[in-house]
Amino acid sequence: MDDTAPPIDAPLTGHRLIADYCRRLDSSPGVYRMLDAQGAVLYVGKARNLKARVSNYARPSGHSGRIARMIRETASMMFLTTRTETEALLLEQNLIKQLKPRYNVLLRDDKSFPNILVSKSHAFPQIKKHRGAKSEKGDYYGPFASAGAVNRTLNQLQRVFLLRSCTDATFSSRTRPCLLHQIKRCSAPCVGRIDEGAYADLVADAERFLQGRSTAVQVRLAAEMAEAAEAMEYERAAALRDRIKALTAVQSVQAINPKGVAEADVVALHMEAGQACVQVFFIRGNQSWGNRDFYPRTGGSESAEEIMQAFLAQFYDDKVPPRLILLSHGTEDQDLVARLLSDRAGRRVAVGVPQRGEKAALVANALRNARESLARRLAESATQRRLLEGLAEAFDLPVVPRRIEVYDNSHIQGAAPVGGMIVAGPEGWMKSQYRKFNIKGTEITPGDDFGMMREVLTRRFSRLLKEDPDRQSDAWPDLLLIDGGAGQVSAVAGIMAEMGVEDIPMIGVAKGEDRDHGKEEFHRPGQRPKALPMNDPVLYFIQRLRDEAHRWAIGTHRARRTKQAMANPLDEIAGVGAARKRALLAHFGSAKAVARAGLEDLQAAPGISATMAKTIHDHFHPEG
């Protein structure tokens, strides 16, 4: 008799459940989802043959620790068939991005990359940084690895090609050259210092440079300088000489640029200690446009091929891939990945692992950077882990905290009050988890910090209790850090008790009597205040946490105050859109004058009907 067999009426789980599903599957391509007992998605996978792929999980042994845990937690499965494996891969990545399953490799940073836009909607095109949808008319060059890489390139382009960076509104309103013209960064087309044809030549040269054809530009500039010198136009010759020098400086800075690779992304993966780092280098126009590092969430037992395939599919989900992608490691199905990326780009995309030559050297450089980046991250994580352990030891916490939430409020004499929450964990700041709370309570007295904290905590933990009452997710904190002393901590403890959440430790951080940084006192419910030695790393760690929360709350408060200062009373009136607001302001001169206007005066404004005039009048004169 099998002692491990479940009772006859017990629901199937784990590999037995999966084996039962396998009996009803066919060999179609498709996507499968594994769900736990609460219905949360554990894993999303794709298969060329669903029956063959899923049957691998039906074996009772022979799995890695991560896969074995996933199988044990599986209480149900869902399946979707597709026409082709390419469709299955696309659907798999869409579901992973949407559901973020616990056991999938996840790309955690999907922020869009900036481009350079040469706008073509004006006779004198503007050159500028652009991020987001490519809806504006013009030529786009990128992506660049960061805003810093774009800014450096724009600075170089201004020095060499003297293109304007001002907005069309600024351009049309200028009556004399700006400072950029005086420091030889702009040709001042706004005031006629250059005609349309000559400016178009500068734009064409800049685009040749961005396309990697800078040598031709340099040859032409040298010829023009010689002609100017021969014609004794020494001022023009000197200006051309300065542009050639600037272009030469740019080329010398970019000496690492590949000569035989015009357009490619170089993707290198390094794995160590159960973590992974992926470095992506962007090559455009034979120039290196910077690099970014990524740290996909992994379970620690995935192969390099599995991580690389998941990364590529997710990374290019909202980005147009280049014509060539150079990899340090192959993928599980390289032809499939190439087909998927080609479909997304609308043209052929080559994906490969180079073995020799310049392409292999590019990959080796990216791989070295990935290895060094991961080493730095592991060292930082080790330091962070020691600090968290020291924090737990110093305050007798039941567990080493993996999620610390720090709260702070900000206002000026009660105006524009906001609450801020920052989050820290084993990997440092968890900035995607930061939250801001615009204080909405009308019963709160201006400047009432206790009332503000009550609203913030009530909103935060009411939502947690509603969304995850069983505390299955990582969203629940292990420690609350409050900026305040005994009174603040006592108030917070009371608020948490009212909500039935009394088991989360909390620490209040208050300055000592002399208010010196470094002499903080720490308050805990029902305990005497505590101080830490001046040279204790845990003290510095708590100070950094508190200061980060203070920075976040002040920044949020300033943003709200600025928004309030710029608010227009007309924005609050239903039916008054941008066009009517412009008409009213043009007719009356200010929002204050609109508020004082009588009903007949409002009806006299262009585009304001009798009904709308009454709506506006009633808004400012509710008493009738």
Q: Does residue 190 contact residue 166 with C-beta atoms inside 8 Å?
A: yes
What whole-number distance in Å separates Cα of residue 138 and Cα of residue 526? 65
394-400 mean pLDDT: 92
Interstrand relation of 275-284 and 287-294 (parallel, antiparallel or unpaired): antiparallel
Indicate if the pLDDT at residue 447 is higher than 50: yes
In the prediction, which pLDDT does 441 show?
65
Q: How far is CA 249 from CA 51, 160, 254, in A?
A: 60, 10, 9
What is the tally of helices (H) and strands (E) in the chain? 20, 18
Q: Does residue 542 contact residue 552 with C-beta atoms inside 8 Å?
A: no
Among candidate residues 557, 393, 380, 397, the one with its CA nearest the CA of residue 477: 397
User: pTM of the predicted model, to two decimals?
Assistant: 0.56
Indicate if the pLDDT at residue 52 is higher than 60: yes
What whole-number distance in Å separates Cα of residue 432 and Cα of residue 370? 23
Write the single-letter amino acid at 569.
Answer: P
What whole-number distance in Å separates Cα of residue 386 and Cα of residue 543? 16
In the prediction, which pLDDT does 565 show?
54
Please report, to the nearest 10 degrees, the dihedral formed by the alpha carbons of residues 361, 367, 372, 377 taken in order. Answer: 160
Residue, of 163 and 150, whose pLDDT is higher: 163
Among candidate residues 132, 184, 178, the one with its CA nearest the CA of residue 155: 184
313-325 mean pLDDT: 89
Indicate if the pLDDT at residue 255 is higher than 50: no
In the prediction, which pLDDT does 561 show?
63
Domain 569-620, what fold? DNA polymerase; domain 1 (1.10.150)
Question: Tokens at residue 431, please?
Answer: 């900035």
564-584 mean pLDDT: 73
What whole-number distance in Å separates Cα of residue 278 and Cα of residue 326? 13
In the prediction, which pLDDT does 318 show?
80
The strands making up 41-47's β-sheet, listed across from edge to edge, are 41-47, 30-35, 76-81
Domain with CATH 3.30.420.340 in the chain: 263-376, 404-564
In the prediction, which pLDDT does 610 show?
86
Q: What is the mean pLDDT of the chain?
A: 82
Q: Which residues pair with 293 in a beta bridge?
A: 279
In the prediction, which pLDDT does 202 show?
86
Give the list of residues 6+ apart from residue 504 with CB closer than 8 angstroms, or none.
476, 477, 478, 479, 480, 496
In the prediction, which pLDDT does 401 show?
93
Q: What percent of the chain has pLDDT over 90?
A: 16
Other Cβ atoms less than 10 A from the Cβ of 407: the count is: 25
Domain formed by 404-564, architecture: 2-Layer Sandwich (3.30)
- Residue 58 is given by DSSP the state G
Domain with CATH 1.10.150.20 in the chain: 569-620
SS3 287: strand
Q: Which of 365-369, 392-396, 485-489, 529-533 has the highest mean pLDDT?
A: 392-396
Homologous superfamily in CATH for domain 263-376: UvrC, RNAse H endonuclease domain (3.30.420.340)
In the prediction, which pLDDT does 257 show?
58
What whole-number distance in Å separates Cα of residue 263 and Cα of residue 399? 50
In the prediction, which pLDDT does 43 show?
92
Q: What is the pLDDT of residues 23-36, one digit of tens each?
A: 888 888 888 999 98
Q: Is 261 left (phi over 0), alpha (psi -120 to 50) or beta?
A: beta
Q: What is the pLDDT of residues 270-287, one digit of tens each?
A: 998 788 999 998 888 777
Alpha helices in 140-233 (DSSP H): 147-161, 168-173, 179-182, 196-210, 214-230
Domain 14-99, what fold? GIY-YIG endonuclease (3.40.1440)
Domain with CATH 3.40.1440.10 in the chain: 14-99
Q: How far apart are the first and last CA of the chain?
A: 87
Question: Tokens at residue 42, please?
Answer: 């554990």
In the prediction, which pLDDT does 278 show?
92
- Residue 77 is given by DSSP the state E
Indicate if the pLDDT at residue 210 is higher than 60: yes
Using only C-alpha atoms, the chain has a radius of gyration, in whole angstroms, of: 31
Q: What is the pLDDT of residues 293-304, one digit of tens each?
A: 888 888 777 889
Alpha helices in 254-406 (DSSP H): 304-315, 334-345, 357-394
- Span of 75-89, 235-249, 599-613 with lowest mean pLDDT: 235-249
- Residue 189 is given by DSSP the state G
